């Protein structure tokens, strides 16, 4: 394991120490627990938006706490859910009477804890909480059991944060902010490709391997199995295969307008991400799908995994307004 | 070579295509040459600031073209200087009568071409050009030959861009903007550490190797030899060794105030960069050096190299004002 760390058991706390040192103008923590991160400035009467999840995905999740995006985030150990108590502490801190919306990824640990936190907020604190579970990964789409969404939540959750955050900033009600978040969640799809595994610091070695000439299409951001492993192909061919699956899934059709997120998983250069962007643009143009805005860079990583993901968000006039709204957080400014 | 690319010979052009697609609100090109990148909005009467250099270091150099930073950038192939003709084309486009300042890294190819471009701008176009060569790497400090600066220009050039860009935005004269750039260049020092090599796409394999348990302190962003290779040590120990050398070099002393840049070289996670930030803060506190502001992230990469660098900029009231000034470019907003 070649990482610049000290004791793996102190990885999370030392990382959080650094985050608070570097960004003390924008964020702080509550409940005397650095894993309970909240925005420094609270807008009275605004719906609070909280997220949470495991570490190892920076800038996800905590990097999006700030003006125009999220109000709080509970942070778990690497690839582990934070506790319901930590989520509740964040909820109490960010509520200012208008209620709190939870937006988080479709993982069992997170669902269990966020549901418990929502119940505690309601019964113990009289705070109204609503939840939107983001799961937009095309590779894990199903077959669905009992009508349940089996899709993993991956980089596309950024678009859900962005739209809901802008709606809350506009002082919409909890029901309205939830409606906007659901609309964004229902209109986003993501597909990823991994070239190398990543190593959880406490484990010290990769849980799987990918051959020197191989890639795995559809791999999750914790190394979950994808849909196809094969020889690494030229960028254009990889993009075309991923887009084919993404576009067919919603589907996105001729005349649609979209926002596009090209997300580096950790070790892949920006150069490569822009080579990918070029092909996405060609491909979508040939389908008559118009791109309103591109985001390119590391938005949701998987530690030092090499690879990238593509997310499309289908826009209408309302979502376009929210996507274009300003935001100011440690990792995202627009 | 595990990269998401097409033909290595098209790497630069396809990457630039992606850049213009994603950032067409802020940047464009001149002279019908995508390697001649300029800001879309020109402020009449302002000193123009141009940089340039090889690709493979994104967001350096072109990512800092925009309001409050640079006006233009000529882009060479991976780790190669752009041509004097390309630099001249950018110079002509960004001059609006107040002259142009070149700020670039201390590499022979860049110096040769920028000097030639400056002469051509003067003789052929009657544009006054001044140059500041940034070379702040501690590992390549000397011994100096003939009083020449042998230091490589690395991530700290961001601070020179930032200060000069803010001074130009304030409509200072060419001489004044040059004075500010020189002051920043003289007060910044950087040291890096590399954990893995990187691969130039056209070459297809690494030019050197670093053992699985090794690091190289002082390695340059093109893989230039550093000052010490040894076993990878805990983050705190690595930071302390690097800071010792940086602090002694200028020197930075008790009571000084600095801006700090923690720069990821490509494959190193943000998590690790924040673990490093925490130790820098402890170390500088113990020396009585006050940190005015931290920047953490990828500011000057070496393709997919793992590792990071630390840069300190010693501040006075003037530089502090320029560091804090707003900026809006494809890769940097404040």
pLDDT at position A63 is 94
CA distance A159 to chain B (A): 17
Which of A325, A323, A329 has its CA nearest to residue A311?
A323
pLDDT at position A254 is 98
Quote the longest CA-to-CA distance of chain B: 56
Both tokens of A25, joined, read 């103008």
**Hey, is the C-beta of A19 within 8 angstroms of any chain B C-beta?**
yes
Both tokens of A75, joined, read 């942070």
pLDDT band at B176 (very low <50, low <70, confident <90, very high): very high
In this predicted structure, the answer to whether residue A297 has a pLDDT above a threshold of 90 is yes
pLDDT at position A302 is 97
Both tokens of B222, joined, read 């093109």
In this predicted structure, the answer to whether residue B144 has a pLDDT above a threshold of 80 is no
Both tokens of B150, joined, read 């042998």
Provide mean pLDDT across the span A32-44.
96
**Hey, is the C-beta of A155 within 8 angstroms of any chain B C-beta?**
no
Instruction: Identify whether B292 is a catalytic site residue.
Output: no
HSE of B15, CA atoms in CB hemisphere, 13 A? 30
Q: In B141-234, which residue ranges form alpha helices assigned H by DSSP? A: 157-169, 174-186
pLDDT in tens, A306-324: 999 999 999 999 999 999 9
Cβ contacts of A232 within 8 Å, gap of 6 or more = A195, A213, A214, A215, A238, B2
In this predicted structure, the answer to whether residue B249 has a pLDDT above a threshold of 80 is yes
pLDDT at position B99 is 98
In this predicted structure, the answer to whether residue A325 has a pLDDT above a threshold of 90 is yes
C-alpha to C-alpha distance for A256 and A108, rounded to whole angstroms:
33
In this predicted structure, the answer to whether residue A144 has a pLDDT above a threshold of 80 is no
pLDDT in tens, B256-290: 999 999 999 999 999 999 999 999 999 999 999 99
Q: In B47-156, which residue ranges form alpha helices assigned H by DSSP? A: 84-94, 108-125
pLDDT at position B279 is 98
CB contact under 8 A, A269 and B236: no
In this predicted structure, the answer to whether residue A145 has a pLDDT above a threshold of 80 is no
Reported residue count of chain A is 334
- Residue percentage of chain A with pLDDT more than 70: 100
CB contact under 8 A, B276 and A18: yes
pLDDT in tens, B55-110: 999 999 999 999 999 999 999 999 999 999 999 999 999 999 999 999 999 999 99
CA distance B202 to chain A (A): 14
- Residue percentage of chain B with pLDDT more than 70: 100
Instruction: Identify whether B222 is a catalytic site residue.
Output: yes
In this predicted structure, the answer to whether residue B148 has a pLDDT above a threshold of 90 is no
pLDDT at position B207 is 86
C-alpha to C-alpha distance for B100 and B84, rounded to whole angstroms:
15
Interface of B with A in 223-252 (CB under 8 A): 232, 234-236, 238
CB contact under 8 A, B273 and A18: yes
pLDDT at position B63 is 94
Which of A178, A219, A224 has its CA nearest to residue A306?
A219
Cβ atoms of B197 and B223 within 8 Å: the answer is yes
pLDDT at position B39 is 98
In this predicted structure, the answer to whether residue A250 has a pLDDT above a threshold of 80 is yes
* Chain A interface mutation, best of B1, B23, B63, B269, highest count of A Cβ atoms under 10 Å: B269
**DSSP secondary structure of A56-123:** SSTTTTGGGBSBTSBSEEEEEEET-PPPHHHHHHHHHHH--SS-EEEEEES-HHHHHHHHHHHHHHHH
The sheet that has B48-55: what strands, in order across it?
A: B27-29, B36-39, B72-78, B48-55, B100-105, B129-134
Cβ atoms of A93 and A52 within 8 Å: the answer is no
**Hey, is the C-beta of A26 within 8 angstroms of any chain B C-beta?**
no
Across chain A, mean pLDDT equals: 97
pLDDT band at B142 (very low <50, low <70, confident <90, very high): confident
C-alpha to C-alpha distance for B97 and B45, rounded to whole angstroms:
6
pLDDT at position B175 is 98
pLDDT band at B147 (very low <50, low <70, confident <90, very high): confident
Q: How far is C-alpha B159 from the chain's CA centre?
A: 8
pLDDT at position A146 is 81
Q: In chain A, which residue ranges form alpha helices assigned H by DSSP? A: 11-22, 84-94, 108-125, 157-169, 174-186, 235-249, 270-286, 317-324
Which of B300, B324, B273 has its CA nearest to residue B163?
B324
pTM equals 0.97
C-alpha to C-alpha distance for B267 and B82, rounded to whole angstroms:
26
**Hey, is the C-beta of B22 within 8 angstroms of any chain A C-beta?**
yes
CA distance B328 to chain A (A): 9
Q: B301: nearest CA in chain A?
A: A269
| Residue whose token pair is 């910044």 | B188
HSE of B95, CA atoms in CB hemisphere, 13 A? 22
């Amino acid at each position: 394991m070649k990482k610049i760390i000290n004791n793996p058991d102190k990885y999370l706390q030392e990382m959080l120490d650094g985050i608070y040192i570097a960004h003390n103008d924008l964020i702080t923590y509550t409940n005397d627990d650095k894993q309970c991160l909240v925005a420094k400035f609270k807008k009275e009467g605004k719906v609070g938006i909280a997220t949470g999840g495991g570490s190892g995905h920076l800038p996800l999740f905590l990097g999006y706490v700030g003006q125009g995006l999220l109000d709080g985030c509970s942070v778990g150990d690497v690839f582990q859910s934070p506790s319901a108590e930590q989520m509740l502490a964040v909820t109490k801190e960010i509520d200012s009477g208008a209620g709190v919306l939870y937006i988080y990824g479709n993982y069992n640990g997170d669902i269990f804890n966020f549901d418990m936190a929502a119940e505690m907020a309601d019964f113990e604190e009289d705070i109204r909480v609503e939840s939107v579970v983001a799961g937009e990964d095309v590779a894990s789409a199903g077959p669905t059991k009992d009508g349940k969404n089996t899709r993993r939540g991956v980089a596309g959750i950024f678009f859900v944060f962005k739209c809901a955050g802008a709606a809350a900033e506009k002082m919409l009600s909890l029901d309205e902010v939830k409606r906007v978040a659901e609309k964004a969640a229902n209109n986003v799809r993501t597909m990823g490709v991994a070239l190398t595994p990543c190593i959880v610091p406490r484990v010290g070695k990769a849980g799987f391997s990918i051959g020197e000439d191989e890639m795995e299409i559809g791999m999750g951001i914790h190394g979950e199995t994808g849909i196809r492993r094969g020889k690494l192909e030229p960028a254009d061919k990889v993009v075309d295969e991923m887009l084919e699956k993404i576009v067919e899934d919603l589907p996105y059709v001729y005349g649609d307008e979209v926002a596009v997120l090209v997300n580096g998983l950790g070790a892949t250069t920006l150069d490569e991400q822009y080579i990918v962007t070029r092909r996405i643009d060609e491909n979508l143009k040939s389908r008559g799908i118009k791109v309103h805005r591109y985001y390119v860079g590391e938005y949701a990583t998987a530690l030092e995994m090499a690879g990238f993901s593509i997310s499309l968000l289908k826009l209408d006039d309302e979502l376009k307004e929210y996507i274009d709204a300003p935001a100011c957080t440690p990792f995202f400014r627009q």
